[in-house]
Structures are given as structure tokens and as C-alpha cells.
């Protein structure tokens, strides 16, 4: 096994410092949640399914279970509740009626959009108050990260699909 060189160690140290700063930022900001979210009966598992359907689009029940690392029967139970809440719709595949296809309903899409809007609001709170120079540096860092995500999308180490 090759011994890591000083540059690798410096990079790992910088990444560790950036991650620590990210955690500190998260702890320092006061996340504000809409009151209806705090009284919501949506579980974390249900939210994970909504986010998965948002990012992947319509999916087979077996694919959802596989991606989340849960049994199909567990995914079915979660989906039953999401259908009752009118956040997800289910239908049979036209080619194979045994296959169940799930997708976000209009209400489910609105729920996800409210979550993204909250995240955007939190990010805006972080950015307001920075100088123009600091904002330009932040934009440059965001562009670096976006470029890196695009490069890594074909790297199996980083690709979770």
C-alpha cells in the first residue's frame, strides 16, 4: 500500500476543517421550521421516500425499497401512508401489471418545494451581510463545487445509484 504524501495529508486536513466549519455553521444558525411541520405526522422514512421520488422521478416499489435499504413490505407500508396523505400516487406498470410504479402527487411536489424553499431561505440568511467581495468568493466556491459534482457524477466511488 502506498504511503500518502504530504499533499494528500494537507488535502485531508483541509477537508476535515471545512466539514468542521460546516457543522459549526449548522449549529450556529437557528433553523426555523414552519409550525405545521413541527406538528406534522410525517415520519423520517416518509420524508426519505418523498425526497427519493423527487430526485429520481417515478420509481418501482422494488427500486425504492432497494435504494433505501429496506424490505419491499416496509416500503409498501410507508407508501400506503403517503398515498393516504395524498402525497404519492401508485399505479400498475402498463407492461407488467405486477409492477407498482410510485410518483409524487401534486401535493407531494408542493411539499418538496416548501422544503427546498426553506433551505433556500436558510442559505439567504447565511449570505446576507457578507460584503460584495465575500459574496463573489462564495459564488466562486459554489461554482467549484458544482463543477466537481459534475465531474464526480461518473465516478463509481461517489455515485450512489
User: What fold does the segment set 41-153 form as a domain?
Assistant: Arc Repressor Mutant, subunit A (1.10.10)
* pLDDT tens-digit series, residues 63-118: 999 999 999 999 999 999 999 999 999 988 778 777 889 999 999 999 899 888 88
Cβ–Cβ contacts within 10 Å for residue 75, how many? Answer: 22
Alpha-carbon dihedral sign for residues 121, 122, 123, 126: positive
pLDDT of 149 higher than 80: yes
pLDDT of 126 higher than 50: yes
Q: pLDDT: is 49 or 2 the higher one?
A: 49
In the chain the beta strands, taken as DSSP E runs, fall at 59-60, 88-92, 100-104
State the chain's mean pLDDT as an integer.
85
Which of 44-58, 123-137, 141-155 is least confident? Answer: 141-155
Amino acid at each position: 500500500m502506498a504511503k500518502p504524501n504530504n499533499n494528500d495529508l494537507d488535502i485531508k486536513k483541509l477537508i476535515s476543517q471545512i466539514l468542521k466549519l460546516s457543522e459549526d455553521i449548522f449549529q450556529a444558525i437557528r433553523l426555523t421550521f414552519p409550525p405545521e411541520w413541527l406538528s406534522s405526522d410525517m415520519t423520517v422514512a416518509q420524508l426519505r421516500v418523498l425526497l427519493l421520488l423527487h430526485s429520481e422521478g417515478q420509481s418501482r416499489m422494488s427500486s425504492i425499497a432497494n435504494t433505501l435499504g429496506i424490505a419491499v413490505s416496509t416500503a409498501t407500508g410507508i407508501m400506503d401512508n403517503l398515498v393516504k396523505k395524498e402525497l404519492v400516487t401508485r399505479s400498475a406498470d402498463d407492461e407488467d401489471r405486477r409492477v407498482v410504479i410510485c410518483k409524487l402527487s401534486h401535493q407531494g411536489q408542493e411539499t418538496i418545494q416548501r422544503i427546498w424553499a426553506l433551505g433556500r431561505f436558510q442559505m439567504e440568511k447565511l449570505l446576507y451581510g457578507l460584503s460584495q467581495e465575500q459574496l463573489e468568493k462564495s459564488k466562486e466556491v459554489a461554482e467549484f463545487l458544482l463543477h466537481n459534482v459534475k465531474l464526480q457524477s461518473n465516478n463509481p466511488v461517489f455515485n450512489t445509484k
